[in-house]
Structure formats: structure tokens, C-alpha cells
Chains A and B, each alone.
Chain A
């Protein structure tokens, strides 16, 4: 039953993404940037999904430290891995856009730098997990590092305001210029991307739980 819900949600999200991609392709090109502007429909939702994922990872890490329940550790590693996936995809789509509009793949602009830094921090989290062998210690250290990494994100993020920035300013709020009828496509993508993230996290979470069970059985067998 729960399987069906997860797979159903995954299929629904993929279907919405596919249909929406078709719909977005039919929209007129943006005046200044042309077709490449439409990458925003994927780029921004990817970052939103990454944001959700690392926030979930933070909450799960804190809950692990409080409760010492290994399910929270599994949730933390699952959502961090999915978060790193979305961060990578966000960096990649951003880079493609930059090549078309700026003529360069990468620039050391504040927002790009902090995005890369987030990626490195969470990749570091995954590497730290590989380096610790004892499961309890691994979960504890990983949770602590996750909290430290998340604390760093706002500090880095606020540096945007202090550094000159080349990244385009948000077009959705304030004096935004995003057309109203485009917004619904954008929101569909947003929801689908987050739903896809949820599905991947749940699957990865289950894997992690099964892995722990297998390890426990293996230890019991070795004991005899």
C-alpha cells in the first residue's frame, strides 16, 4: 500500500514534469534572452527542492542527536544525498544558462560561489560518513557536521548583499517581470520537482534502513 503511494507520487511527478516541459516549449521566447530563458522553469525549482532537502536533513540530524533513533540518521543521509543531486543539477543548469547569456560557464559571483560552497559542504558530509566506520559514531558525527554546515549557509547567503553580484535578481517578487500566465507552469514544475525529491528520498531512506538491518544480521551471524 505504502509502496503504491510512493511509486504513484513518483509517476505523477514525472508525468507533470513531462507534460509541463511540452507546455513550456510551446511558450513564446523571452524578448532579450530567447529560448534559453526557459531554463528558469527547471533551474529555480531544482534549487527549491535542494533547499527543502537540506532543511529536512538538518531537522533529521537534530532529531537524531536528541532521540538517538537511527531512522532519523537514515532520513538525514537520504535527504542530503537527494539534496546534493539537486544542487549538482542546479549548478549544471545555471552553468548552461551562463554559457549562453554571459558567454562563460562559470563566474566567481557571490551567489554562484555560495552555491558551489553548499555543494562542497554537503559532499563533505557524505565523505565524512564514508570515513567513520562505527555506525553510532558515524551517525553522531554526521549529524553534528550537518548542523555546522547548515549554519554556514545563511552566513554565506547574506554575503550576496555585501558583495557585488552578477547573478540575475529574482524576477518573481518585488519589481519582478515574470508574466502571470507563465507562473502556473513554473509552480507546476516546482511542485513536481519537490515531489520527485520526496520520492527519491523515501526510496533512499528505505535502502538505508534495509542496509542497517542487513548489517545487524551480519553482526549477529558473526557473533556465533
Chain B
């Protein structure tokens, strides 16, 4: 609504703007490393806790590994997503971003891309650590696993980014974000858990599992579209 009032940008400018915002976020994160360090440390702690929850040597570990991994990813990812907009609050940076001559969806996509890169980075570090500690062979179908990771992580980032913007100014922000995002993420997480478990056990994705792949793609498409439509309302009211 508000974006229509702004001066029209030249073609191709949107992609450049998205990239600028994403790189800005990544740069500031890589310089301070506040979210990514916390997220990695948290992932390690959860991985350690799991070893007390069940027998890490058992064969069943591999069967439930998909679920465990995605619990780690969801928890660790929330720490990064929480910071995404909270980082802009000091010095009124958020007002600056909203006032900048870019439409809301560009701002959203830029932020989402940066978050996606950060969450993926944490996942790719946590994955081999999980493999070593719990004797899970994750590398045997790495290409397919990477695809599943990317699809589910994009869903997680889209939901996380829009709700990060939504919760940035409210009370109990740190609690509200996971409380609102996890229930919505459940379908994507179920799909990701199933597919990851199948891939880690060395089986191909086929037959009945194809439906979970389609679920992930559909989930990503629906929520990316909904977020792009609603983000302007979230940011400027």
C-alpha cells in the first residue's frame, strides 16, 4: 500500500536492493558474531543433552536422528531469527530501514536471505558434529540431504523473519517468537524430520516419501507468498 507512493525504481534494482540488505545483515553479523556464536553454542549444548535423554550407542539413534537434528536446528535457528529485527532496534535503525526508499517486500527478502545463510551455516556445522557424536552417517546422500535442509530451512527462515518483525516491539519477545513460530512450522518440520531420517539411514527418497517433499515445497511457496503480501502491514502498520 505504502510502497506505491514511493518513486518507481529502475528495473533490476529490486534484486540489487535485496542483495544490499542481505549483505548488510551478514556483514554486521560476521563482525559481531553475536547471534551465530550463541546459536552454535546452544546447538552444542542441546546435542550434549540428548546423550542423557537416550542411549547414544543404540541403533534406534539413526531412526530418530531426523527428529533430533531438526529439534536442534529449530532451537538454534530461533536464536538467529530473534536477533534479525531486534538488532535494528538500538539507534532507531529499524525506522531508518522502513523509511529507506525500498518496498517492504525487498526489505523482507533481504533479511530472509541473510537469515537463511546464517541458519544454514549453523546447520552445516552442527550436522557433522551430530554425526560424530551419535555415529550417524550423514554424508552418504549429501546432495539430497542438502536439498531437504535448504527447503525446510527456507520455510523456517520465512516464518521466522516475518514473526521476528512482528514480535520485535512486544513484551516477552524472546518467548513469543518460538511460541508463535513452532506450531506454524510443524508441517514443515514433520516433513523435514521424515526425509532427513530416511536419507541418514541410507535409503532413497521414493514412494510414499515424495509427498513430504511436495509438502515442503508447498509450505515454502504458500508462506513466502503470504509473507511478501503482509510484510508491509507488519512494518508500517
**Which positions in A face B, CB cutoff 8 Å?**
65, 117, 120-121, 124, 127-128, 131-133, 136-137, 140-141, 144-145, 147-149, 151-152, 155-156, 159, 162
Q: Do the beta carbons of A152 and B233 come within 8 Å of each other? A: no
Ordered by A's residue number, 15 sampled pairs between the chains whose C-beta atoms are within 8 Å are: A65-B230, A117-B186, A121-B183, A131-B170, A132-B170, A137-B237, A140-B234, A141-B234, A144-B166, A144-B234, A145-B166, A145-B180, A152-B184, A152-B186, A155-B218
User: In the complex, what residues of A have CB within 8 A of residue B166's CB?
Assistant: 141, 144-145
Known: A155-B215, A155-B218, A155-B222. A120 touches B183 (CB 8 A): yes
Bound CA span A145–B215, Å? 21
Bound CA span A223–B183, Å? 41
Q: Do the beta carbons of A117 and B237 come within 8 Å of each other? A: no
Q: Do the beta carbons of A151 and B211 come within 8 Å of each other? A: no
Majority DSSP secondary structure for residues of A touching B:
helix
User: In the complex, what residues of A have CB within 8 A of residue B218's CB?
Assistant: 155
Q: Do the beta carbons of B226 and A147 come within 8 Å of each other? A: yes
CB-defined interface of B167-203 with A at 8 Å, one 1/0 digit per residue? 1011110001001100110110010000000000000
B223 interface contact, C-beta 8 A: yes
Q: Do the beta carbons of B179 and A124 come within 8 Å of each other? A: yes
- The number of residues on chain B lying at the interface, defined by a beta carbon within 8 Å of a beta carbon of chain A, is 29
Q: Do the beta carbons of B233 and A131 come within 8 Å of each other? A: no
User: In the complex, what residues of B have CB within 8 A of residue A147's CB?
Assistant: 226, 230
Q: Do the beta carbons of B237 and A148 come within 8 Å of each other? A: no
Q: Do the beta carbons of A127 and B179 come within 8 Å of each other? A: yes
**Least distance between A73 CB and chain B CB atoms (Å):** 13
Bound CA span A140–B172, Å? 18
User: In the complex, what residues of A have CB within 8 A of residue B180's CB?
Assistant: 124, 128, 145
Known: A132-B170, A141-B166, A151-B226. A124 touches B190 (CB 8 A): no
Q: Do the beta carbons of A155 and B187 come within 8 Å of each other? A: yes
**Nearest B residue (CB) for A125:** B180
Bound CA span A121–B182, Å? 9
Bound CA span A127–B162, Å? 18
**Least distance between B212 CB and chain A CB atoms (Å):** 8
**Nearest A residue (CB) for B180:** A124
User: Among B166, B176, B223, which residue has the most Cβ atoms of chain A within 10 A?
Assistant: B166
B219 interface contact, C-beta 8 A: yes
Known: A133-B171, A140-B237, A148-B226. A159 touches B179 (CB 8 A): no
Known: A128-B180, A148-B184. A159 touches B170 (CB 8 A): no
Known: A148-B184, A162-B211. A155 touches B179 (CB 8 A): no
**Least distance between A130 CB and chain B CB atoms (Å):** 8
User: In the complex, what residues of B have CB within 8 A of residue A155's CB?
Assistant: 187, 215, 218-219, 222
Bound CA span A65–B232, Å? 11
Q: Do the beta carbons of A156 and B187 come within 8 Å of each other? A: yes
